[in-house]
Amino acid sequence: MALMNVKPSQKRFSYGGQAVIEGVMMRGVHTAAVAVRNPAGEIVVHEQPLNERLYRGRLIKTPFLRGLIGLWDALGLGTRALMWSADVAMGEEEEVNFNGPMGWATVAFSLLIGLGVFFLLPTTIASGLQRALSLQDQPTVVNLFEGLVQLSILITYISLIGLLPDVKRIFRYHGAEHKTINAYEAGAELTPENVEKFPIEHPRCGTAFLLTVVFVGVFFFSLLGRPPFLTLVLSRLVLIPIIAGVSYELLRFTAKHRHHPLIRWLIVPNLALQHLTTRQPELAMIEVAVVAFERVLVSEGLIAAQDARRFAPNPKAVSPTFAIEQS
């Protein structure tokens, strides 16, 4: 199957995904597909229909509001895909549905952790510095320091978990995900050997989104000065959807115009930060990413089910067989 069967006019949707344990999740318009290699060397695929109102309704088409879909992906769908992949990687595959009460509970818990660590903690630290150094008349400086604390927490957290062997493998699958989407957007045939040639960075990466959130947050927070602490915390919480929406639109714009000389210069920090969360993948890892992505293309009607690739045995891995489940 050559991806050249897909017409350029059909490549309009900005496909995305994320790495999971021993695998990759890819998301399309109608379906999310998670492909994971289990201990027997089999590639197990879970296909999850996406909520029609959430992913194909007005929200996904509305600028600044569609950034909330990105938050759902990162905190909800992605977290639950990660949990499922852990079961498969340990040989404990279970029937699972990524929607419903379990999904909302996971999103709520992830949001609370994210808000506490990456928003409220930097706000508290910056406010303490403001009092200690008597910087009440320099709110811009304090807000800039708050942004630097956010960025420092982000980089430190990613760097520390990146030292763990299991996380390093996830980061290699992250590289496989990026390479696969880069190859698709370039119109290349999706063979592991072709995909391997493409870069591990991608301008729409979630890591780039987080960095953009930090910079956009500094801008918005500077407009508000430094009100009393409780008002300050409330303002941070209220502004999160706005910051996420603006950050998402900036990321889309820079990704669309990434070949412009000025935009190439502007996205250098985003691409550089991705080297903390991506590594060069093995061919066997790229195989898994391509399987997940082609299942999404099948759900979109862009390729036929019988054309989805079945890989020849890899000399460094058990010859993969496929089990596909749908919720």
Stronger pLDDT, 128 or 102, i.e. the higher one:
128
Give residue 97's pLDDT band: very low, low, confident or very high (50, 70, 90).
low
Kindly state whether residue 10 falls inside one of the protein's structural domains: no
- SS3 state of residue 322: strand
pTM of the predicted model as reported, rounded to 2 decimal places: 0.84
Kindly state whether residue 273 falls inside one of the protein's structural domains: yes
Tokens of 231: 């008002």
Give residue 102's pLDDT band: very low, low, confident or very high (50, 70, 90).
low
- Name the residue among 19, 73, 13, 14 with its Cα closest to residue 48: 73
What percent of the chain shows pLDDT beyond 90? Answer: 41
Kindly state whether residue 108 falls inside one of the protein's structural domains: yes
Kindly state whether residue 256 falls inside one of the protein's structural domains: yes
Lowest mean pLDDT among 51-65, 117-131, 266-280: 51-65
Read off the pLDDT of each residue in 154-166 and give the average, rounded to a whole number: 92
Kindly state whether residue 245 falls inside one of the protein's structural domains: yes
Kindly state whether residue 9 falls inside one of the protein's structural domains: no
Alpha-helix residue ranges (DSSP H) falling in the chain:
52-55, 58-61, 67-72, 78-89, 101-115, 121-132, 139-161, 165-185, 192-195, 206-224, 229-256, 261-266, 268-273, 283-299
Q: Tell me whether residue 27 is exposed, middle or buried, using C-beta atoms within 10 angstroms of its C-beta: 0 to 12, 13 to 18, 19 or more.
A: buried
Could you identify the residue written with the tokens 């061919």?
Answer: 283
| Separation between Cα atoms, residue 18 and residue 207, nearest integer Å | 11
Give residue 50's pLDDT band: very low, low, confident or very high (50, 70, 90).
confident
Give residue 6's pLDDT band: very low, low, confident or very high (50, 70, 90).
very low
Give the distance, in angstroms, between the CA of residue 295 and the centroid of all CA atoms in the same chain: 18
Kindly state whether residue 3 falls inside one of the protein's structural domains: no
Structural domain count, the chain: 1
Kindly state whether residue 268 falls inside one of the protein's structural domains: yes
Stronger pLDDT, 297 or 324, i.e. the higher one:
297
What is the model's pLDDT at position 100?
Answer: 55
User: Mean pLDDT in the chain?
Assistant: 83
Domain of residue 297 covers: 15-326
